[in-house]
Chain A
Amino acid sequence: MCTGITIAWRDIPTRLIRKHQLDERIIQRSETADKEILFMQRHRQPLLPVFYQGELRILPWGNRQRHSNAPLAWWCEVATLESGAWSMYHPEPVEILANFGLERGVWFQIREGIQGVLIHDQHEQPCVYLLLQPASHYYQVMTGYHREPVFLGEQI
């Protein structure tokens, strides 16, 4: 699965950068490139930039807290969602903002974003999961992985 994304630093409002201490996650690929904010699954507090209820929010990426009743995962398969296995969580579709994605060491471009699923646990805490699907031939050759995120407005 996609283990990291970045978004342009200028696309995130300053108040959100301050609130979530995103300054620590700033990277720059070259001296002339734009600054980006890195969101990695391996971060101590994994987060994702998400459009939810008409505004940009920074929300927890998946769940790794055993005391929460949300699924202990980072992603959700489209097939699982369609089977109704997550219906008890009342999943809501959300758009995850991203310029670039990382899969098995390969950074690739994301034009519009990634489809995600948002649920709330028993404490009303939100968790966002990447929606995954079987990888296209192209994606599989490019990254060497057999599943890919559901991209908005394109198929890689």
Chain B
Amino acid sequence: MVTTLIGHIDSDCFYVSCERIRSYSLRGVPCGVLGNQGACVIAKSYELKAYGVKTGHPIWEAKKLCPHAVFVKRDFRWYEVISRRLLDLLKTVSPLVEYYSIDEMFFDASELQRYFRLPLEAATRALQTLVQEQIGVPVSIGIAPSRSLAKLGSDAAKPFGIQVIERDCERFLRSQPVGELCGIGSRSERKLRDRNIHTCWDYRQADRLLIRNLLTIKGEALWWELRGDAVNPIQTTRPPHKAIARGGSCGGKTMDADRIRAWAVRNIERLIEALDHHRVYARHISLQIDANKTALWLGRTPLAVPSASFRMIYDAVMPMLATAPTTHPVSHMHIIAENLTWRDRIQKSLFFEDAQSPLDQIKRDINQKLGRFAIRSAETLPLHEIYHDATHNYDICDISGKMCF
């Protein structure tokens, strides 16, 4: 469906705003939300930001910068509840909504004036007020002929602002550095700077073929979007994954072979959970091991048949793990399922076991009934800190249906 106006709604300091919904005492307080280990700030209020605290700062630095700040334990399940409430509310106002991320959504804004019976700017303000009253989260909204312009508008309007951008928006685009554009990273920004392209207006005025040569077809799409031509449509359903990965921190650096093996098995179990959720099988399995977030080793193994079987993935991962270098302590690990195929579109094999064994199905059924990891491999027992401490659960912000991450 072609839309003439696209809206972008972006929650202001979303995790903190969610905490403020249920804790009145946090309002106005410099507040930081801490990550899974309790060590790093993963979200901050504007009050805390004013003291120079940044996302990713360890708590011991953050408390020095703002000694009276309050820190809150993350609760991703609560944030998902609020995110879905926001999505549902937006669906009542707009005929098309894209669930872009936990705190950002694109929507068809062409019906906004008719819904609120107000001019566009006033209708946008009315939507902002509606969200604040019904959900309790402050949001910034950008309205524009294309999604890149809409996102640029909402980012520029933060916090708690609105920005309606016309097709001819020279003044606005001149005020926006090109690095603010979603899709322009630091490398692309450097390339553009070398061509004397500093602002979004310079980008829009640049030669289309030059942009295409510099930044490929994606850069050209941005060029069209900045001119107000919507080339990236609103997507209401998530396209199939190309790959699914599970992993992350190993809870500190370790060279202990049993613990590394235990993390690998836990990540395999998490990966199978995700493959079950998305109803896909993997044809290839990759293992990535990091030391201090620098890739230390990467292995890739094809599976004999598309599978989500614990045994098959385990048999693929363990030989890769055995050949990985043991000279550096491991800090992070990822297991990646690639070359995915829908479960209802595979040819069964005469020579190999089914894509999932009865044991896999029993394990899944029990865990769905009794909770995640109620039944798990005994090889994960060395991770005693996870299983003996209810607070140390490596909670994952993993919401189905959203477009990014």
Q: In the complex, which residues of chain B have a beta carbon less than 8 angstroms from the beta carbon of A33?
A: 27-29, 47
- Identify which of B38, B60, B68 contacts A107 (C-beta below 8 A): B68
Contact B71 A142 (CB under 8 A): yes
Interface positions, chain A 117-151, Cβ under 8 Å from B, are 136-142, 144
Question: Is the Cβ of B392 less than 8 Å from the Cβ of A137?
Answer: yes
Look across to chain A and name the residue whose beta carbon is closest to the beta carbon of B45.
A30
Tell me, yes or no, whether A156 is within 8 Å of chain B by CB: yes
Give chain A residues whose Cβ lies under 8 Å from the Cβ of B38: 137-142
Q: Which of A30, A34, A108 contacts B71 (CB 8 A)?
A: A108
Which parts of B1-54 form the interface with A (CB within 8 Å)? 19, 23-30, 34, 37-39, 47
Task: Give Cα A107–Cα B48 distance, bound, in whole angstroms.
Answer: 13
B27 touches A32 (CB 8 A): yes
B27 and A138 within 8 A (CB): no
Contact B72–A108 (Cβ < 8 Å):
yes
Q: Does B385 contact A (CB under 8 A)?
A: yes
Given A136-B392, A142-B34, A30-B28 contact (CB < 8 Å): yes
Given contacts A137-B389, A138-B391, A142-B39, are A109 and B71 in contact (CB under 8 A)?
Answer: yes
Report if B390 contacts A (CB, 8 A): yes
Selected contact of A100 from candidates B60, B67, B70, CB within 8 Å: B70
Q: Does B59 contact A (CB under 8 A)?
A: yes
Partner of B28, one of A34, A105, A139: A34
Q: Point out the residues of chain B lying under 8 angstroms from A36, CB to CB.
A: 25
In the complex, A155 Cα to B75 Cα: how many Å?
Answer: 12
Question: B23's closest neighbor in chain A, by CB?
Answer: A109
Distance of A140 Cα from B252 Cα, bound (Å)? 14
Q: Mark B55-90, 1 if CB is under 8 A from A, else 0.
A: 000011001000111111100000000000000000
Bin chain B's interface residue count.
20 to 34
Q: Nearest chain A CB to B56's CB is how many angstroms away?
A: 15
Residues from chain B with a CB closer than 8 A to the CB of A137 are 37-38, 385, 389, 391-392
Q: For residue A32, which residues in chain B have a CB less than 8 angstroms away from its CB?
A: 27-28, 47
Q: How far is the CA of A28 from the CA of B29 in the complex (A)?
A: 9
Q: Does A29 contact B70, Cβ atoms closer than 8 Å?
A: yes
User: Which B-chain residue is minimally distant from A36 (CB atoms)?
Assistant: B25
Does A152 make an interface contact (CB < 8 A)?
no
- Residue in B25, B27, B28, B67 with the greatest tally of chain A CB atoms within 10 Å: B25
Q: How far is the CA of A4 from the CA of B346 in the complex (A)?
A: 61
Please indicate the chain B residues that have their CB under 8 angstroms from the CB of A144 in the complex: 60
| Least CB distance, B132 to chain A, in whole angstroms | 16
Q: Which residues of chain A have C-beta atoms less than 8 A from B47's C-beta? A: 29-30, 32-33
**Minimum CB–CB distance for A64 against chain B, Å:** 26
Residues of B near A108 (CB, < 8 A) are 70-73
Q: Does A78 contact B (CB under 8 A)?
A: no
In the assembled complex, the Cα of A141 lies from the Cα of B71 at a distance in Å of 12
CA distance A27 to B29 in the complex (A): 12
Are A107 and B69 interface neighbours, CB within 8 A?
yes
Docked complex: A7-55 residues within 8 A CB-CB of B: 8, 27, 29-34, 36
- Known A29-B70, A108-B70, A156-B73; contact A99-B25, beta-carbon cutoff 8 A: yes
Q: How far is the CB of A2 from chain B (nearest CB, A)?
A: 14
Among A107, A111, A156, the residue within 8 A (CB) of B391 is A156
In the complex, per-residue mask of B312-339: 1 if CB is within 8 Å of any chain A CB, else 0:
0000000000000000000000000000
Q: Which chain A residue lies CB-closest to B73?
A: A156
Q: Which residue of A lies closest to B69 (CB)?
A: A107
B25 partner residues in chain A, CB cutoff 8 A: 8, 34, 36, 99-100, 109
A137–B29 Cα distance when bound, in Å, is 26
Residue of A nearest to B64 (CB): A105
| Interface flag for A72 (CB, 8 Å) | no
Measured CA separation A100–B26 after assembly (Å): 9
- Which residues from B are CB-within-8-Å of A140? 38
Complex CA gap A142/B30 in Å reads 17
- Report how far A31 CA is from B47 CA in the complex, Å: 10
Whether A111 touches B23, Cβ cut-off 8 Å, given contacts A106-B71, A136-B390, A142-B71, is yes
Q: Which residues of chain B are near A106, meaning CB under 8 Å?
A: 59, 63, 71
Closest chain B residue to A134 by CB distance? B389
For B60, the chain A residues whose CB sits under 8 A away are 144
Give the chain A neighbours of B24 by CB distance below 8 A: 8, 34
**For the complex, what is the distance from the CA of A137 to the CA of B386, rounded to whole Å?**
9
The 6 closest A-B pairs by CB, nearest first: A33-B28, A32-B28, A142-B38, A136-B391, A141-B38, A137-B392
B residues with a Cβ closer than 8 A to A are 19, 23-30, 34, 37-39, 47, 59-60, 63, 67-73, 385, 389-392
Residues of chain A touching chain B, judged by Cβ–Cβ distance below 8 Å, are 8, 27, 29-34, 36, 99-100, 105-109, 111, 136-142, 144, 155-156
What are 28 inter-chain pairs, A to B, with CB distance below 8 A? A8-B25, A29-B68, A30-B28, A32-B28, A33-B29, A34-B27, A99-B23, A99-B25, A100-B25, A106-B59, A106-B63, A106-B71, A107-B70, A108-B72, A109-B23, A109-B25, A109-B26, A109-B73, A136-B390, A137-B37, A137-B38, A137-B385, A137-B392, A141-B38, A142-B34, A142-B39, A155-B390, A155-B391
- List 4 additional contacts besides A29-B30, A142-B39; criterion CB under 8 Å: A29-B47, A99-B23, A106-B59, A108-B73
